[in-house]
Amino acid sequence: MSATRDALLAALDAYVDPLIGRGLLACGAVKRAEVTGGRAQIELELGFPAAGYRHALAGSVAQAVRAATGLDADVAIGWRIESHAVQKNLKPLAQIRNIIAVASGKGGVGKSTVAVNLALALHAEGARVGILDADIYGPSQPRMLGSRDKPTSPDGKHMNPIVAHGLQAMSIGFLVDEEQPMIWRGPMVTQALGQLLAETLWRDLDYLIVDLPPGTGDIQLSLAQRIPVSGALIVTTPQDIALLDARKGLQMFRKVEVPVLGIIENMAWHVCTHCGHREPIFGEGGGAQLAQQYGVELLGQLPLDMRIREQADGGCPTVVAAPESDLAQRYRDIARRAAARLAYGVQAPDFPAIEISDD
C-alpha cells in the first residue's frame, strides 16, 4: 500500500499545471492523497480561486494519475487565499488579504473597464473581492457598477462600502455629484485616496482591486509607496504610444518593489459586426513584445468590442451581463492567471550572463 501511495504522490508531483508552473506536491497543493479500495482519493487546495477551472483540472489530474499508476481517482479541489508580501516598511491592511493595483501608463486604454471586469471575474471564481476607484479626478466605477448609492456610516468616522454585483466598492464618485469636478492638488488627492482606503469598513476581502489613475506622476508614485500592494497588473493596447507609457508604469512598480503579475493587452483586435472581418486596429504583437522584453507574462488579450462598452456604460459589466460569453471567459481566464501568479510567484526573467574578454 505504501508503494502505491508513493507512486500516487510521484504522479501528482509530476503533473505540472500551467497556471502553477510546478508539480502539485512541490507547490503544496496536495492536501490529501490516499489509496482506498483500489481507488485514489485526492484532495487539492489551490492558492487562488478556481470555480470555473476546477472541473477541468480535476479531470486532467485524474487522467495523469491513471496513466502513471493505473488507478482511477476521485479528485476534489478547493482553495485557500493567503496574504502575500507587500513593499518594505508597509503592512497588509486589516480585512484585506491582498491588494492588486491595475495601472496604465496613459489614459484611453480601457483600464477601468478591465479593472471592474477582473474584480467581477475573481468574484465569479469564488473569491471575496472589493474594488477601490483611485481615480479621484475622473471616477468611473459608480457608473460601471450601476450604483449611485451614498455610503452609510456606523460611527461618523468610517464608511460602509457600497455593494454592487457582489463586489464591495468605494469611490469618490459615491460621495460627490457625478458632474462635480475635483479641482484638487496632488497632496489633497493622495490624502483623499488614503482616507477612502483606510476609512472604508472592508469586510474580509481576499482581493481589493485598486483602479489607479492613468500615468506615472507624483500621485501614482505616492500611492504605490503608501498602499501595501501585493501585485500590479499593467493594461495597454498594442499601439506603440500606449506601450511607451506602459513601460514607464511597469518600471515604476519595480522601483517600489511591487511585483508585476503580468500584462493585459486590451483592444487587441476588432471584429466587424457586419462582415466578421477581424482587424488589429491599434497594431498587433505589442503586448507580447512588452512582456518578453521585461520578463513578465502576457496574461491575455481582449478585443475592441462594442458590447464591452455598452455593458459597462449600462452599469452591468460584461462578466455579469453575459457570464457565458467568450468575452466573460477571457476576463475570468486572465483573473485566474493573475491570482495564480500572485499565489505561486512571479517568474524572474532570465538575464544572459555577461562575459568580458580581451578579444
pLDDT tens per residue across all 359 residues of the chain: 456 899 999 999 999 999 999 999 999 999 999 999 889 999 999 999 999 999 999 999 999 999 999 999 999 999 999 999 898 888 889 899 999 999 987 788 999 999 999 999 999 999 999 999 998 887 899 999 999 899 999 999 999 999 999 999 999 999 887 767 666 676 788 888 889 999 999 999 999 999 998 877 777 777 778 889 999 999 999 988 888 889 988 988 988 889 999 999 999 999 888 888 889 988 888 999 999 999 999 999 999 999 999 999 999 999 999 999 999 999 999 999 999 999 998 544 333 333 333 43
Residues 106 and 74 in one domain: no
In this prediction the pTM is 0.92
Q: Is 31 annotated as a binding residue?
A: no
Q: Is 112 annotated as a binding residue?
A: yes
Domain count, the chain: 2
Residues 45 and 118 in one domain: no
Residues 320 and 171 in one domain: yes
- Check if the beta carbon of residue 317 is closer than 8 Å to that of residue 144: yes
Query: Cell numbers of 134, please?
Result: 483611485
54-69 and 2-14 are packed helices; what angle lies between their axes, rounded to 10 degrees?
130
Query: Cell numbers of 330, please?
Result: 477571457
Q: Is 255 annotated as a binding residue?
A: no
Other beta carbons within 10 angstroms of residue 206's beta carbon come to 23
Location of C-alpha cell 515604476: 252
Q: Is 108 annotated as a binding residue?
A: yes
Parent domain of 56: 2-79
Q: Is 116 annotated as a binding residue?
A: no
Q: Is 28 annotated as a binding residue?
A: no
Residues 113 and 194 in one domain: yes
Q: Is 111 annotated as a binding residue?
A: yes
Q: Is 157 annotated as a binding residue?
A: no
